Amino acid sequence: MGKKEFLRQIESLKRRIDEHEAMINREKDKYNPDEGLIKYWEKEILAFKNAIEKTQKRLRRGK
C-alpha cells in the first residue's frame, strides 16, 4: 500500500468516527436511549481509533 492509500484509509476511518459520534449523540437525545447500541458504537469507535494508530505506524515505517 502506498502513502496515498494509507492517508485515504485514515481519513475514511476519521469520517466513520464522526458518523458514529453523531449517531451516539442522536441516540442519547432520545427519551429512552438504547444503551446497548451506544456501547456497540463506542466499541466500534475504539476499533477505528486502533486501526488509525496501526495505519499511522505503517505509514511512518514506509518513510
Distance CA 12, CA 5 (A): 10
pLDDT band at 62 (very low <50, low <70, confident <90, very high): confident
Distance CA 13, CA 29 (A): 24
**Average model confidence (pLDDT) for the chain?**
95
Q: How far out from the chain centre does Cα 52 lie? A: 8
pLDDT band at 56 (very low <50, low <70, confident <90, very high): very high
Q: What is the mean pLDDT of residues 40-49?
A: 98
Question: What's the predicted TM-score (pTM) here?
Answer: 0.90
Query: Tell me: the pLDDT tens digits for 24-44?
Result: 999 999 999 999 999 999 999
